[in-house]
Amino acid sequence: MSDAGALAVGAILAVPALAALLLALLPDDRTAARLNMGAALATLGCALVLFTRRPGAGAFLIVDDLNVVFIVLNTFVGFTTSVFSASYIAHELETGRLTPAYLRFYHAMYQTLMFAMNLALLSNNIGLMWVAVELATLTTVLMVGIYRTPAALEAAWKYFILGSVGIALALFGTILVYLAARASVGEGLDAMAWNVLVERAAGFDPALLNLAFVFLLLGYGTKVGLVPLHAWLPDAHAEGPTPISAVLSGLLLNVALFAVLRFKTIMSANPGALAPGPLMVSLGLLSVLFAAFMLYRRQDIKRLFAYSSIEHMGIITFAFGMGGPLANFAGLLHMTLHSLTKSAIFYCVGHIAQVKGTQRMSEIRGLTVSHPALGWSLVLGAVAIAGLPPMGLFMSEFLVVTSTFARQPVLAVLLGLSLLVALGALLLRVNGLAFGEPDGVAHASRVSYVPVFAHFALVLVAGVWLPPALVAWFQHVASLLS
Amino acid sequence: MMDRLALDVAHLFAGGLVLVSFMLLYQDRMTGLVNNFALHAVVVSLSVAWQAYIQDAPHLYITAAIALGVKAFVIPLALHRIILRLGIHRTIEPVVGIGLTMLAGIGLVALAIMVMLPITAQAGTLAREDLAFALSVILLGLLMMVSRRNAVSQVIGFMSIENGLILAATGAKGMPLVVEISVAFSILVALIVIGIFLFRIRERFETVDVHALHEHRGEQP
């Protein structure tokens, strides 16, 4: 119950909203990129305040142990992406792929997206959360189509149709949850508030909750990119500007997963309701299996890593579906590290696509020779994302597999095998990209390495030595989830 | 007596909405499809207005007014202009035959009723049938989206899903934020229509048949 906490929560929402408004009006692109960075940094600062000072739950907004992790991750990656975006966009302007008018729109949409994601994470009301996720979908659709090439328009259209159907299903689920709650909580805002719902979930009608969860899992699961609802994801990643690919993979998928987790908590609190775990485990495992094999056939570098995102969201959903303190801990850790790693990879890939002038992998060779820093960063990123030691993802994947072994050996074997398949595909592809004789063009580009190395350093540190405070925090959150 | 009548009228509107959803399924001309969608929107706004009256919830009149203004007038007019501009008033191009689609639709309505009625026993009579009807409208909208190739018909399918959701939300008595949600949804829909208009899919692809879009998939060798 502190004023500083309440102020921070307000600022996390107000800063991006105001920045979006300003950026929509600001014509100069240099200043706009700086303002974008400044706003993202200010939001990150406010998010850090929430660690120490936390306001009580209101009717619409709430800060609890679970969403603090997501908010800090969200604002941190949001800030580093804005740094990357500044150099990326400068190059796009020079090559004429984007005009200043579109750039203004891009920056305004970037901050609107940050606002929508923060709102979804902070909301204490399932209706408000739905509106926020919808706003986030809309802004990303607009940004995916920003290059206006036929491929970009198709990607935006596909994302738009699938995403809208997804959020429509999620809304129906939300209405059903309200109906389930109304009988025991009574009409009004309380029947849509998280903290009230979780507290009183034991008294809800289990049949209604079951049906609601199916709709919610399918609806928000579309946005998580779970197979078979993933069709929009590779296209949207490949055709939009790369900063957006980074934000999509690193953050928006997490926000959708966060929504699923919130509803899972309600389901678990009701003794009569269907166990949500098996559903999530099967969707997660299916995603991992499918994406691992699909990785082999990719020809486009951004699509390759988009499929890798499907794989990792599958692992995370699998871990949360297994439940229990250890699997939840592994899921949380994996989610955090995946966000950091995947966004850093997209920063590299964005610059690579700019210097080579193409995203086709067959036209990119020998990066470690022609562009040593970029090439080795990509190799490092691939090693990390494939789950090899010493990077942090090795530890979290190891935890997921071992915690599953103790309970469901067959599932663990399946998961382990598909992880190996994915590892093979990634190493094969990256070997072709990074080594050998360089060929093709090499444009000049100002590369910003700071965000890339900052992310990799964090992932490496997490793999070697996790700070005890962080472990304790994640363990606490994991126990809350189970 | 009054309660009985109130329920009957609510069911009349909700059932009417399912019927109009079926009518959307068998349209074979673009103009007819858009006009039918306008009717869909009129029925949903009547339904919402009636709910506002019997639940004594004046804020729902706003939702009804939005549904009527935006979806019964503005969007159909815009769609008519798009259709004229693009010269596609005759082309519907269903993926499967209309007879099969109708049969599938009947199956979906039966499914919706069988799923919703048993589990909503506690939710009260009003919400109960309303939800079954709403789920039917949503499923029929989904069916329409998968059984049509044309971008404009897909959008109309999506908007009919949205109408079904509004029916469900207003049927859940006392649900907060309904107006906000319907506003957010209207923005989404408006944006799609503006999207078709601005991006002028035809200009780039010579057609609004979304199958033509697949030719531009990034990954064909």
For residue A390, say if its preceding peptide bond is cis, omega within 30 degrees of 0. Answer: yes
Q: How far is CA A48 from CA A43, A177, B67, in A?
A: 9, 32, 42
Between B194 and A310, the higher pLDDT residue: A310
Three-state DSSP state, A389: coil
For the four alpha carbons of B47, B27, A160 and A164, in that order, the dihedral sign comes to positive
* Interface contact A189-B158, CB threshold 8 A: no
Give, as one character, the DSSP assignment of residue A411. H
Within 13 Å and on the Cβ side, how many CA atoms surround A307?
23
* Domain ranges across chain A: 275-482
Which among B142, B214, B218 has the least Cβ separation from residue A238?
B218
Closest C-alpha among B185, B1, B181 to residue B75? B185
Closest CA of chain B from A127, distance in Å: 7
Residues of A within 8 A of B161 (CB-CB) are 165, 168
Mean pLDDT over the full length of chain B: 82
| DSSP line for A57-70 | P-SSB---HHHHHH
Classify A61 in phi/psi space as left (phi over 0), alpha (psi -120 to 50) or beta: beta
Predicted ipTM beyond 0.95 = no
pLDDT at A417: 94
The stretches in chain A having pLDDT less than 50 are 1
Structural contact between residues A230 and A312, judged by C-beta atoms closer than 8 angstroms: no
Q: Name the amino acid, one letter, at A288.
A: V
State which residue of chain B sits closest to A128, comparing Cα positions.
Answer: B177
pLDDT at B129: 81
The yes-or-no verdict on residue B20 having pLDDT over 70 is yes
Question: In whole angstroms, what is the distance from residue A54 CA to residue A259 CA?
Answer: 21
For the four alpha carbons of A354, A358, A359 and A363, in that order, the dihedral sign comes to negative
Token readout for B133 is 């009807």
pLDDT-based confidence at residue B89 (cuts at 50, 70, 90): low
pLDDT at B200: 54
CA A15 to chain centre: 21
* Interface contact A178-B214, CB threshold 8 A: no
pTM for the full predicted model: 0.92
pLDDT digits (tens, 9 = 90+) for A362-402: 888 888 888 888 999 999 999 999 998 889 999 999 999 99
* Domain ranges across chain B: 2-216
The yes-or-no verdict on residue B171 having pLDDT over 50 is yes
State which residue of chain A sits closest to B211, comparing Cα positions.
Answer: A154
A123, β-bridge pairs = A61
Question: In whole angstroms, what is the distance from residue A342 CA to residue A346 CA?
Answer: 6
Alpha-carbon dihedral A181, A185, A190, A196, rounded to 10 degrees = -80
State which residue of chain A sits closest to B122, comparing Cα positions.
Answer: A183
Question: In whole angstroms, what is the distance from residue A300 CA to residue A290 CA?
Answer: 18
